[in-house]
Structure 1
Amino acid sequence: MHGEYKVHGGKLVVCDLEVRDGKLADVQIAGDFFLEPAEALTDICNSLNGLPAAASVETIVAALNAGIRADAALIGFSVEAIAIAVRRALGVAKTWRDYEWEILDGQPFAPTMHMALEEVLAAEVGAGRRAPTLRFWEWERPAIIIGSFQSLKNEVDMEACREYGVEVVRRVTGGGAMFVEPGSIITYSLYAPAELVADMSFADSYAFLDQWVLKALNEVGIAAFYKPLNDIASPEGKIGGAAQKRFSNGTVLHHVTMAYDMDAAKMTKVLRIGREKLSDKGTASAAKRVDPLKTQTGLPREAILKSMTDTFIGLNGGRKSALTEAEIAAAEQLAAGKFSSDEWLNHIP
């Protein structure tokens, strides 16, 4: 049995093993990592041999921590990475290619509709009525989207929003406020089975679910990298941020917003937090703080979206899909109810 795991920003861990009488046997760990002293590799394999084939990640990690000599240095990988490679060899841990992904192209919707679609599509994937899905968003009109746990009055200047015609909505995920306008932003969502990230910490799953988009940005000339906990950045500055929610139905919602051509002056007028953070730097610094993809690539927004789609399909597979009538109807009902209600928007005043 063979399994591989590439540590984000690190090295490849490869596991080959057999299962005899329900236990791991002849375990071999290899890869392009660094390990000192070299004899610690024997510790690793000995710690794994004899473990139950049904061992959890926690059990595997505990065995490795107990069995590896105290002075060992694991460079570019970790005991958690070894556990993931082991479980992949056993066929327990899923990879992207274990699913048939569907891709929804951007369709302009009102802000409340986008918020509703997040819940509806996560529910559909969890119920097995929809395959795991990548959805690109298009915005029908300007909006501020605040995180589930943010204070409305602390984050948003409602008077300025009314002046500029900016709608304010609250999403189901945590994180910070976003200012969006049609054509100025690239937003995407992943609706994935939780088992795809079952062997990862919450923090590690952020990096894992965004690996493909870093490659896509590299393809268009951006030296993009992941900055914990939830930022996508480049040497020129921040590009965007991610947020995530794990639903009880076994679905992970992971969505990312990246700036393409941000109106920084307007952003600082409608967002209080932006005003406070940049009060001593001015609008020019605001433009630098969330560095638009347009200035780094010189490409039309559509070209970047195409690179993202092509990269995702090349790495993970996927086919184009469309929202069903039932999904749209369910989202419209939720958008008109929960996500348009003052109760939801103001649940943290």
Structure 2
Amino acid sequence: MHGEYKVPGGKLVVVDLELVDAKIANFRLAGDFFLEPDEALENINAAVNGLPADSDAASIAAAVRAGLPENATLLGFSPEAVAVAIRRSLSKATSWKDYDWEIVHSPAVSPRMHLALDEVLAAEVGEGHRKPTLRIWEWNESAVVIGSFQSLKNEVDPDGAAKYGYDVVRRISGGGAMMMEKGAVITYSLYVPAELVQGMSFADSYAFLDEWVLEALKSLGIDASYKPLNDITSPTGKIGGAAQKRLGSGAVLHHVTMSYDMDGEVMAQVLRIGREKLSDKGIASAAKRVDPLRSQTGLSRAEIIERMKQTFTTMYAATPGDITPEEYAKAESLVEEKFATEAWLTRVP
């Protein structure tokens, strides 16, 4: 069995192993990481050999750590990264290069249509009717998109939303409320087969699926990094956040909103950002929580999106695609049946 795991912001970890009597045998670790002393590689191999095939990632990482000599130095990887690669090999996980990727950058639709397209396109990938896809959202309306499990009245000030022209909608993924001001955010969705993140924890998969956008931001001069669980950040402030939903069809929906520009005062009037949340972030106001891409790059929103598309294409050999009429029709039906209904919006009052 073979498994690979690219550590977000780090190096590639590659494992090969066999199973003998439900135990790991002939384990071999490789990669472009740095490890001292040399013999520590054999220590890791020895520590893994003999482990039960159903060992969880925490148990594997503990065994690797216990097997390392006291003076061992690991750069670009960790015992946890080795464990993820092993779990991916045992679960027959795939890699980015196993798929033909498409990039969809279609015209703006309504906020509810965006959310319906997320569900439809993810299901199409899971059912094998669509290639794995990166979709860039365009906005011609402003909206507040609340998480699947958030309380509507606790998250949104209806008077503030109405005053500034924000529609309020609910998505199928968890996480927090996002203010989508038209022309002021960059939003994208990834629709991927579940096998791509097989063997990873939710936390690992978030960073794994956004590695490419960190590379794009770094190429623009931003010192971007991932802050668990789901934040893309930089030394000057948070840039954006991710959310995820695993569908029964065998697909993963992963979407991210990054702030290109923002009005912190409007944000504070539209969203009910509680004192506890701000205190947890160690800051005094909502306006200081997010540092937009415009101020960090001096580039237009379109230029940043173009660099993102170029980076994804270079890394994963993606080709341009589009949404089919049939997919649009399914999404329109889903808007009527679900996303435009009061029952869905107020499922958590």
Tell me what 1:289 maps to.
Answer: 289
Cα contact 1:61–1:79 (8 A) shared by 2: no
Counterpart residue number, 1:69:
67
Cα shift readout 1:2-35 (whole Å, capped 9, x = no counterpart): 7643322344434456899997437354542445
Q: CA deviation at 1:101?
A: 0.7
SS of equivalent residue, structure 2 residue 200: coil
Query: Contact 2:88–2:200 at 8 Å: present in 1 too?
Result: no
> 1:1-349 residue pairs with structure 2 within 5 A?
4-15=4-15, 24-25=25-26, 27-29=28-30, 31-34=32-35, 39-49=39-49, 55=53, 58=55, 62=59, 65-66=62-63, 68-69=66-67, 75-76=74-75, 77-86=77-86, 92-273=92-273, 286-349=286-349
CA pair 106-20 structure 1, distance change in 2 beyond 3 A: same
Q: Select between 39-48 and 228-237 the one with higher mean Cα deviation.
A: 39-48
Letter aligned with residue 289 of structure 1: R
Q: 1:118 to 1:74 in 2, by over 3 A?
A: farther
The alpha-carbon distance between structure 1 residues 25 and 244, as it changes in their structure 2 partners (threshold 3 A), is same
Contact 1:135/1:188 (8 A) holds in 2: yes
Unaligned runs of 5+ in 2: none
Amino acid at match of 1:244: Q
- Given that 1:142 and 1:181 are in contact with CA atoms closer than 8 Å, whether structure 2 keeps it comes out as yes
1:248 CA displacement: 1.4
- Classify the secondary structure of the residue corresponding to 2:273: helix
CA distance in 2 between counterparts of 1:26 and 1:102 reads 35
* More moved, 247-256 vs 39-48: 39-48
- Separation (CA, whole Å) in 2 of partners of 1:242 and 1:26: 35
Q: 2: distance between equivalents of 1:88 and 1:175?
A: 26
Preserved contact between residue 269 and residue 275 of structure 1 (Cα < 8 Å): no
Asked whether the equivalents of residues 127 and 249 of structure 1 are also in contact (C-alpha less than 8 Å), the reply is yes
Checking the alignment, whether the CA contact within 8 Å between 2:56 and 2:87 is kept in structure 1 is no
Q: Partners in 2 of 1:270 and 1:60 — Cα distance?
A: 42
Equivalent pair of 2:273/2:286 in contact (CA under 8 Å)? no
* TM-score between the two structures when normalised by the length of structure 2: 0.87
- Deviation sequence 1:130-188 (CA, Å, 0-9, x none): 01110000112111011111111111111222222211000111111111121100000
Superposed displacement of residue 289, structure 1: 1.9
Distance 1:88 1:285 in 2: 41
Amino acid corresponding to residue 28 of structure 2 in structure 1: V
CA distance in 2, matches of 1:229, 1:253: 16
Count of paired positions: 341
How far 1:81 sits from its partner (Å)?
Answer: 2.2
Percentage of pairs with the same residue:
57
User: Which runs of no fewer than 5 residues in structure 1 stay unpaired?
Assistant: none
Structure 1 residues 286-295 or 149-158, which shifts more?
286-295
- Return the offset for 1:128: 0.5
Over 3 Å counting, the alpha-carbon distance change for 1:215 and 1:29 in structure 2 is: closer
For 1:9, the aligned partner's letter is G
Q: Which amino acid aligns with 1:232?
A: I
User: In the TM superposition, what is the alpha-carbon distance from 1:238 to its structure 2 partner?
Assistant: 0.6
> 1:338, 1:200 → 2: CA distance?
31
CA RMSD of aligned residues (A): 3.1
Provide the secondary structure at the position in 1 that maps to 2:310. Answer: helix
Measured at CA, do residues 74 and 175 of structure 1 come closer, stay the same or move farther in structure 2, by a change above 3 Å? farther
